[in-house]
Amino acid sequence: MSPRRGGPDFSEYTGARKRAAPIKSRPAFGRTFWGKAFVRVIEQIGDKGRVSRGRTFARTGKVLPLDIRPGRVTGEAWGTQLEPFTATLAVSTLDNTDIDDIITKLRRVPGSLASLVSGVVPDMLAAQLLPDGPGAFQFDCTCPDEGWPCKHAAAVAFLTAERIDTDPLQLLILRGVDLSDLIGGVEDETTIAVDVESWFGDSSLLPGLPRVEFRAAIDDLDVNALRASVAALGLDVAQQNVALAELRAIYRQLDS
């Protein structure tokens, strides 16, 4: 349709409407060991309907920003309202006993501290780091929904799991564990005291050597396997016994 002469031209507003670009699907929440465990707690203790809506709300990208601190995660949930709702997820922080247990486990497994420093949290720390039980999480939100949790707080929990998937050390921050304290605790156990006054140990008193009962090397061998080897030479039982006795005498000479 051509515009009327002398009238406004609306041709640029006619024709087929352009479709909006499709929204890219967000990766699943809980893709790693730690993220899956976190999501499992959310699904076990929360109202199923609101947890499901919270997962959907989290996928829309309407919770920004997400702030993770010891014992608390806070997110601003944006919807149709003029001002965002403030949703929080509270988790208890670990006490000194739990932290000592973590340090003990890291000491017992060589290389585990190095993995932790590089950003890989060993699965063996799950008992200390993962929240557990009905009271594991506490939810709160400024929205009028009195459900537990509301979809905004549930969304914060799912986004926390997503952050943990990307950076497992965020779980340490949430549980109030300082990585530098773990490093110091492990290193303190392996530190060797040095006497600077006797650098080369000239005045050191060494413990006496233990008295070791003599034991021929042949006694530490598998006699049946040794006899089978001797029998493979075609010797009968009597000859095998002679051969074993001679080997024992040779080993005794070597060990003396």
Q: Do 230 and 178 reside in the same domain of the chain?
A: no
- On the CB side of 135, CA atoms within 13 Å amount to 2
pLDDT tens string 56-115? 999 988 898 899 999 999 999 998 888 999 999 999 999 999 999 999 999 999 889 999
Q: How many other CB atoms sit within 10 Å of the CB of residue 106?
A: 23
What is the mean pLDDT of the segment spanning 150-176?
Answer: 95
Percent of the chain having pLDDT more than 70? 77
Euclidean distance between CA atoms 63 and 52, whole angstroms: 16
| pLDDT level of residue 13 (50, 70, 90 thresholds) | very low
Q: Do 183 and 232 reside in the same domain of the chain?
A: no
Q: Do 48 and 113 reside in the same domain of the chain?
A: yes
Q: What is the pLDDT of residue 132?
A: 82
Q: Do 124 and 43 reside in the same domain of the chain?
A: yes
Closest by CA to 163, choosing from 27, 44, 23, is 27
Q: Do 109 and 160 reside in the same domain of the chain?
A: yes
Q: Is residue 17 part of a domain?
A: no
What is the mean pLDDT of the segment spanning 197-206?
Answer: 66
Contacts of 112 by beta carbon, 8 Å cutoff, 6+ apart: 105, 106, 122, 124
- Residue finishing a domain among 170, 188, 206: 188
Contacts of 254 by beta carbon, 8 Å cutoff, 6+ apart: 217
Q: Do 109 and 230 reside in the same domain of the chain?
A: no
* Number of domains making up the chain: 2
Euclidean distance between CA atoms 32 and 183, whole angstroms: 24
H helices present in 193-236, as ranges: 223-231
The overall average pLDDT reported for the chain is 82
Q: Do 128 and 245 reside in the same domain of the chain?
A: no
Q: Is residue 163 part of a domain?
A: yes
| pLDDT level of residue 187 (50, 70, 90 thresholds) | confident
Contacts of 149 by beta carbon, 8 Å cutoff, 6+ apart: 46, 47, 50, 51, 54, 137, 139, 141, 157
Q: Do 178 and 227 reside in the same domain of the chain?
A: no
Q: What is the pLDDT of residue 246?
A: 83
pLDDT over threshold 50, residue 52: yes
Domain that holds residue 221: 215-252
Q: Do 219 and 181 reside in the same domain of the chain?
A: no
Tokens, residue 234: 């075609």
pLDDT over threshold 90, residue 159: yes
Tokens, residue 230: 């001797």
CA 190 to chain centre: 23
pLDDT tens string 116-156? 999 999 999 999 999 887 788 999 999 998 888 999 999 99
Q: Which residue has the higher pLDDT, 65 or 18?
A: 65
- Residue finishing a domain among 172, 188, 204: 188
Q: Is the CA virtual torsion 70, 138, 35, 102 positive or negative?
A: positive
Least reliable range by pLDDT among 52-56, 182-186, 211-215: 211-215
Contacts of 140 by beta carbon, 8 Å cutoff, 6+ apart: 87, 88, 90, 153
What is the mean pLDDT of the segment spanning 169-184?
Answer: 94
Q: Do 151 and 225 reside in the same domain of the chain?
A: no
Q: What is the pLDDT of residue 105?
A: 94
Task: Kindly report whether the global pTM for this prediction surpasses the value 0.75.
Answer: no
